[in-house]
Structure 1
Amino acid sequence: MTPQAPARAHRPRTQPPDTDGRSYRVGAGTLDPTQLWRALPQALRKLNPATLVRNPVMFVTEVGAALTTGLAVASPSVFGWLITVWLWLTVVFANLAEAVAESRGRAQADSLRRTRRQTTARRLTGRHPDSPGLPHDEQEVSAAELRRGDFVVVEAGELVPGDGDVVQGVASVDESAITGESAPVIRESGGDRCAVTGGTRVLSDRIVVRITQEPGASFLDRMISLVEGAKRQKTPNELALNLLLVALTFVFLMATVTLQPMAIFSTQVMGSVPDTGAINSDGVTGIVLVSLLVCLIPTTIGALLSAIGIAGMDRMVQRNVLAMSGRAVEAAGDVHTLLLDKTGTITFGNRRAALFLPVAHVRDRELASAALLSSLADETPEGRSVVTLAREQYGLDTVPHADAQWVPFSATTRMSGVDLGGPGARSLRKGAATAVADWVREQGGIVPAGLDALVKRVSMSGGTPLAVAETVDGTARVLGIIHLKDMVKPGLSERFRQLRAMGIRTVMITGDNPATAAAIAAEAGVDDFLAEATPEDKLALIKQEQAGGKLVAMTGDGTNDAPALAQADVGVAMNTGTSAAKEAGNMVDLDSDPTKIIEIVEIGKQLLITRGALTAFSITNDIAKYFAILPAMFAGVYPALGALNIMDLHSPLSAILSAVIFNAVVIVALIPLALRGVRYRPSSASALLTRNLWVYGLGGIIAPFLAIKFIDVALVQFIPGI
């Protein structure tokens, strides 16, 4: 029977790359309006001053709302109560933005909690389980009693009781509770795919696991805490922006406090002042000043800043990437150098057959047919790729041979093949060029001079040559060469071009020789490469880049990658990797897709762009509020200021109330944008800045003028006496 290659499960990407350069976008989906209602109770709980004091801008707004409440009670008026209600709504809407962002994380955390249950562990005692053949005992204990260094045995159908590394055996493990992928994965001892996560289920066989976690500090526990925002700390950029907002708030607070004394002084200097209505009454003056302060300080970005940061981590989680801190997400947006392993990231995991090169007097189809037959017993990925190439290029198929004797590939002989008996007995061999040449000579054949030229041609191009030979009725001859090459993943060259446009330098890391590395780097389109790299070389390269003031990102999965992952500013460890790699990195890719680091960088960029865009909008939309409130307040004292009432608002009171209402409503309007993120397309920093200034800066000036005028007209219709 013809040997068949085993079926291999395909794990789909979380989000397929779109490489057309036009429609690619990093986003987080639309906002479900029902999320606003579900998050409202949490937003109301955040009105606690002890909680709100962490956000100085909104804390000042809440103090102002409390002050106007007292003034409205002391001197009741429709204007006073309307201002008070909208100031409280401003604070609630700001809390609502953060509450909605946190609710997404809590929903994901609840899903993870359902996978964490009280598990009984089978702890091994006595002899060390790494010593085969020696007896050891099992003891049933609660999973909560396990300590770092304990050994447990897990069999098919059982849950892994804690995070650890497989030290004995191999098993198929269902990690869908963690990754969301239904396809099982293989975990085995002695390699870089030995790590298992507590709460996952073993589907087959038996493994012995060494526990690597401390009690209550499992990967699942950390994941739950992080996605629900319990341990989210503000990033350096966020702290710097907060400091700026506090400074602006203090400046405007001082300016507002001095306005009333200035107004009294002005009236004394100018003498009689035209009557401006209720705005000059003692009961309303304090409310007007509070309204002015709230409209002057940057409440919009102050309300949305925390939600933007939480949403950035949420977008990572949606792509099955666990960021250990907000700092890691933010650092991803500032990355200058991106280190990528060649195998599995830039190229497919194994070399694939790309071309048949026959020697003189041999036809291409004849070589392809012999290569297919001699590869049917080769279960390696390279052997299966030869069969695939022959079938795709020449439409060849296998015909069962009852008298065939298959020769599987062996690392000793470095060949595979088949012996066909009967009339015209024929033997076929495929393998390393030197091994096949020796086999031909042993069969009494002559190796053609052209073979060396073909071998050198393939080797110089960075490929691996495999020779194919046959014997027919005792006559041996070489048929040609199969060109195996590292196949660059489709679409990567376009992604690297986009990264280059963003100012990010890409460096390929490989253990190949410089000639092979150069050929692959040129085909992939990376900016540079490091050939024959050792773990020390990776670490030295990262330190060299950082010494030049650059932030570096890289991926890894093995223990030998741990030093470089720890040194990198953004270290993305594969979930299939060792515990040492996952502990060293500041992100873990649950899908174990090395190419996802490109998406991680783009999500980080989007976080920074969203924060910058909404900051620009917040600052510029204050301009419209200035034109609404300041002329209304001072036109009576300085009639020339009436010329600044370019919106032709109905009255001073309606102008102030319209600005306060807009100040509250705009926060709700921007919550979906803060959570989803500003549309991001790879381009240079200057181009992104220009775009944000035109779209969000200019938009922040125009939109409030229109909205405040519309609100003013509506107020006049519903409250004629205002």
Structure 2
Amino acid sequence: MSRSIADVPTRSARSRSGGDTGAIETRRSAFSLGQVAAAVPGALRKLNPAAQWRNPVMFIVWVGAALTTAIAIAEPFLGGPEPSGGTTVPVGFTAGIAVWLWSTVFFANVAESVAEGRGKAQAQALRTTRTTTIARRVISYDERGDAAARSVATEDVASADLALGDVVIVETGELIPGDGDVVNGIATVDESAITGESAPVVRESGGDRSAVTGGTRVLSDRIVVRITSKPGETFVDRMIALVEGAARQRTPNEIALNILLASLSIVFVVVVLALNPIASYSASPVSIPVLVALLVCLIPTTIGALLSAIGIAGMDRLVQRNVLAMSGRAVEAAGDVTTLLLDKTGTITYGNRHAADFVPMAGVEREALARAASLSSLSDPTPEGTSVVELAAALQGIVADLPRDAVAVPFTAQTRMSGVDLPDGTRVRKGAAGSVLAWLDVDAAAPVSAETRAELRREADAIAQAGGTPLAVAIMGPQSDGVLLGVIHLKDVVKDGLRERFDELRSMGIRTVMITGDNPLTAAAIAKEAGVDDFLAEATPEDKLALIRKEQGGGRLVAMTGDGTNDAPALAQADVGVAMNTGTSAAKEAGNMVDLDSDPTKLIDIVRIGKQLLITRGALTTFSLANDIAKYFAIIPAMFMGVFPGLATLNVMQLSSPASAVTSAIVFNALVIVVLIPLALRGVRYRAASAASILSRNLVVYGLGGVVAPFVGIKLIDLVVSLLPGF
């Protein structure tokens, strides 16, 4: 069974085919009692002022709690609590305020600890993959190939002693001792310890599937690996640091919001300090505990308490989808992306072309073309070859068998053809139109006529304009009488549901660009069928880099995926560069995210998660600031209407007493953090819409809700508090 490193998500059955992967079923809730219990020790440790000062808002609450506690301890020796605002304060009022102030700080710590706890559990699972193994290090590797690698001298060393650049040999059943690139050989590798995927993967030298990870196991064959990481700096080490939050730094947006919250807090500190001189002028000074409670209720404690948890949870949601973000900045950038660069093969299309039709030349029976095409493909193990055999059986009922002495002719980059030579001297070839014509011109007794060449060109162009790939089929008899039979229409199949997803991205204001090495005609047809906004055909690494720079020059943020060394410059240049785990080490080093599943379509989900993070932070900030406005109208009238009777008209909640008003507000201020922790961890539900629409919705739901909730909550708490003696 497939599982992520977090062992949380159960993927949709359509996730691999480009369907909607946005809906992911989780096996555990965002906020459970078990998680809270596990988070309590960490939350208590965070009460240390050295941990609190990094969060200015909560540090002010911590200082207020400490001051109020000191006053509560001193009160019995000073003759009880002093009156406040001209009213009597109940016994135990100061101690109660202190308890709820400490609760406010504690609940904020719980939110952060729960978010961090998920990462620590994931990190613990990853640590089990880090085992010291014995590696066979090549004493002197000279790049002479596999035969040389088998015969060179080796020495046994502990994996922890391997250095950057060392070359090791790994055979069937052995663990790969460290991160590296395959420099020789091919093997199937079990990466389930890292990715959670039970299916083995192929790793080979000389391509974009050469990177291997330490701790994974070779299941078959043998590979030579060059180590590309230092001890303690392996991919698993980096994963552990990331999911634990140890490597998480505050993002620019988060820093800016912290500065704003700190500024608002300072403003309210000044305002609250100015209240006592005003009250003293009326011979009704306000006590310090009441002023502290008022300050804590008015500063943006709700978002201050949840801000860190929101950021950690955003990265955690990526981890649940087997994506590692190297920084919180990358997650935020994903939320602001306006241009998405998507490879055609494997992302927009399935990656394997399938035979869609047989197009015979004039005077050629379709059955003859299908039979020849099937014969030429029987020994072709590729998905394209298999699809030709299947199409011939489906359309013409042809089930061909190769004679025992037939000789298969494999495809090569030089000939650009494949086929079969039959025992009677008959030869069948299929391949690129130009290559097949050149073969006939050289070997056939008579050249292909100009009319046939023109017909072939017309059919091939028509297939290319429809987004397909034409393969010409020809047969040559024992007497070198060559005949061009027709064309096989190979089609790149666009993944189901992608057009709808691209429409969704367009509604977010995101422009999609398909990148392909195909010719412009084929690229245009695929782009139209898939519904992307633009395409870049016959793309080279330099073309990708130039396109990214052009988009960024226009003020847009760009995201792209890649897996090869030639993608590294573009991945490094992109604002969000998602490297495939199957790719090269260079690609993984250049990107700021790594997809452990190597599913290029996941880039769309990454953008959704980034936007959800930004929307969640904005929504809870709106709710917090709206809360402060409501609490202001709840507390100030109740506190000072004895001194200024005109304020009684603003006491719309009819709170029972000033002491009850202050107590109810501070209790609500603490409890609302607990209520919002699940939302901070799970994230506000994201729907594709324009920025203006999302802003309007947040103002209505979280702005208006933030104003109404305190009025309702404080009034209900007041009804309970008023039943206590002295209130």
- TM-score, with structure 2 as normaliser: 0.89
Q: CA deviation at 1:358?
A: 2.9
Q: CA deviation at 1:426?
A: 7.9
Q: CA deviation at 1:50?
A: 0.5
Map of 2:337 onto structure 1: 335
Map of 1:108 onto structure 2: 122
Change (3 A) 1:697 1:235: same
Unpaired segments of 5 or more residues in structure 2? 1-8, 77-90
Map of 1:616 onto structure 2: 622
Q: CA deviation at 1:22?
A: 9.7
Is residue 17–residue 495 contact of structure 2 (8 Å, CA) maintained in 1? Answer: no
2:346 partner SS: coil
1:44 partner SS: helix
Q: Percent identity?
A: 64
For 2:344 and 2:100, how far apart are their aligned partners in 1?
Answer: 57
For 1:367 and 1:703, how far apart are their aligned partners in 2?
Answer: 74
Give deviations 1:339-383, integer Å, cap 9, x for gaps. Answer: 122222222323322222233455656644543343222122321
Give deviations 1:309-336, integer Å, cap 9, x for gaps. Answer: 0011111111111111101111111112
Map of 1:581 onto structure 2: 587
2:461 partner SS: helix
2:183 partner SS: strand
Map of 2:211 onto structure 1: 195
Q: Identify the range of structure 1 (432-441 vs 191-200) with the bigger mean alpha-carbon deviation.
A: 432-441
Map of 1:394 onto structure 2: 395
Give deviations 1:520-541, integer Å, cap 9, x for gaps. Answer: 2222222222222222222222
For 1:88 and 1:686, how far apart are their aligned partners in 2?
Answer: 39
For 1:395 and 1:650, how far apart are their aligned partners in 2?
Answer: 89
Q: Identify the range of structure 1 (81-90 vs 308-317) with the bigger mean alpha-carbon deviation.
A: 81-90
Map of 1:92 onto structure 2: 106
2:287 partner SS: helix
Is residue 17–residue 496 contact of structure 2 (8 Å, CA) maintained in 1? Answer: no
Counterpart amino acid of residue 550 in structure 1: R
Map of 1:56 onto structure 2: 56
Is residue 10–residue 25 contact of structure 2 (8 Å, CA) maintained in 1? Answer: no
Map of 2:524 onto structure 1: 518
Map of 1:454 onto structure 2: 459
Is residue 36–residue 96 contact of structure 1 (8 Å, CA) maintained in 2? Answer: yes
Counterpart amino acid of residue 30 in structure 1: S
Map of 1:6 onto structure 2: none
Is residue 560–residue 578 contact of structure 2 (8 Å, CA) maintained in 1? Answer: yes
Change (3 A) 1:404 1:690: farther
For 2:445 and 2:474, how far apart are their aligned partners in 1?
Answer: 12
Is residue 581–residue 598 contact of structure 2 (8 Å, CA) maintained in 1? Answer: yes
Is residue 296–residue 626 contact of structure 1 (8 Å, CA) maintained in 2? Answer: yes
Map of 1:45 onto structure 2: 45
Counterpart amino acid of residue 100 in structure 1: V
2:410 partner SS: strand
Q: Identify the range of structure 1 (467-476 vs 679-688) with the bigger mean alpha-carbon deviation.
A: 467-476
Counterpart amino acid of residue 319 in structure 1: R
For 1:418 and 1:632, how far apart are their aligned partners in 2?
Answer: 94
Unpaired segments of 5 or more residues in structure 1? 1-11, 268-279
For 1:187 and 1:590, how far apart are their aligned partners in 2?
Answer: 14
Map of 1:384 onto structure 2: 386
Report matched runs for 1:339-358 at 5 Å. Answer: 339-358=341-360
Is residue 26–residue 602 contact of structure 1 (8 Å, CA) maintained in 2? Answer: no
Is residue 429–residue 470 contact of structure 1 (8 Å, CA) maintained in 2? Answer: yes
2:154 partner SS: strand
Counterpart amino acid of residue 97 in structure 1: A
Is residue 126–residue 236 contact of structure 2 (8 Å, CA) maintained in 1? Answer: yes
Change (3 A) 1:390 1:678: farther
For 1:22 and 1:150, how far apart are their aligned partners in 2?
Answer: 43
Map of 1:3 onto structure 2: none
For 1:584 and 1:435, how far apart are their aligned partners in 2?
Answer: 39
Change (3 A) 1:567 1:169: same
Change (3 A) 1:296 1:361: same
Q: CA deviation at 1:19?
A: 11
Q: 1:139 aligns with which of 155, 164, 172?
A: 155
1:205 partner SS: strand
2:357 partner SS: strand
Change (3 A) 1:421 1:133: closer
- TM-score, with structure 1 as normaliser: 0.90
Give deviations 1:638-674, integer Å, cap 9, x for gaps. Answer: 1111111111222222121111111111101111111
1:120 correspondence with 2:116: no
Map of 1:431 onto structure 2: 431
Is residue 356–residue 480 contact of structure 1 (8 Å, CA) maintained in 2? Answer: yes
For 1:452 and 1:83, how far apart are their aligned partners in 2?
Answer: 86
Change (3 A) 1:63 1:527: same
2:54 partner SS: coil
For 2:18 and 2:559, how far apart are their aligned partners in 1?
Answer: 24
Map of 2:4 onto structure 1: none
Map of 2:470 onto structure 1: 465
Is residue 18–residue 24 contact of structure 1 (8 Å, CA) maintained in 2? Answer: no
Report matched runs for 1:626-645 at 5 Å. Answer: 626-645=632-651
Counterpart amino acid of residue 481 in structure 1: V
Give deviations 1:524-564, integer Å, cap 9, x for gaps. Answer: 22222222222222222222222222211111111111111
Give deviations 1:436-460, integer Å, cap 9, x for gaps. Answer: 5566775668767343432232234
For 2:697 and 2:17, how far apart are their aligned partners in 1?
Answer: 22
2:684 partner SS: coil
2:594 partner SS: strand
2:197 partner SS: coil
Is residue 637–residue 651 contact of structure 2 (8 Å, CA) maintained in 1? Answer: yes
Report matched runs for 1:400-549 at 5 Å. Answer: 400=401, 405=406, 407-411=408-412, 414-417=416-419, 429-437=429-437, 449=452, 450-469=455-474, 477-549=483-555
For 1:438 and 1:51, how far apart are their aligned partners in 2?
Answer: 75
For 1:705 and 1:696, how far apart are their aligned partners in 2?
Answer: 14
1:356 partner SS: strand
Change (3 A) 1:512 1:402: closer
Q: 1:165 aligns with which of 149, 170, 181?
A: 181
Change (3 A) 1:511 1:472: closer
For 1:326 and 1:414, how far apart are their aligned partners in 2?
Answer: 47
Is residue 375–residue 417 contact of structure 1 (8 Å, CA) maintained in 2? Answer: yes
Map of 2:72 onto structure 1: 72
Change (3 A) 1:500 1:106: same
Map of 1:372 onto structure 2: 374
Q: CA deviation at 1:508?
A: 1.7
For 2:439 and 2:75, how far apart are their aligned partners in 1?
Answer: 106
For 2:17 and 2:640, how far apart are their aligned partners in 1?
Answer: 57
Change (3 A) 1:27 1:420: closer
Counterpart amino acid of residue 463 in structure 1: G
RMSD, matched Cα? 2.7
Is residue 27–residue 679 contact of structure 1 (8 Å, CA) maintained in 2? Answer: no
Q: 2:304 aligns with which of 302, 306, 310?
A: 302
Give deviations 1:100-120, integer Å, cap 9, x for gaps. Answer: 000000000000000001122
Q: CA deviation at 1:610?
A: 0.5
Report matched runs for 1:555-566 at 5 Å. Answer: 555-566=561-572
For 1:142 and 1:68, how far apart are their aligned partners in 2?
Answer: 58
Map of 1:591 onto structure 2: 597
Counterpart amino acid of residue 291 in structure 2: L
For 1:544 and 1:288, how far apart are their aligned partners in 2?
Answer: 58
Map of 2:669 onto structure 1: 663
Change (3 A) 1:339 1:23: closer
Q: Identify the range of structure 1 (204-213 vs 240-249) with the bigger mean alpha-carbon deviation.
A: 204-213
Q: How many residues align?
A: 693
Q: Identify the range of structure 1 (402-411 vs 316-325) with the bigger mean alpha-carbon deviation.
A: 402-411
Q: CA deviation at 1:20?
A: 12
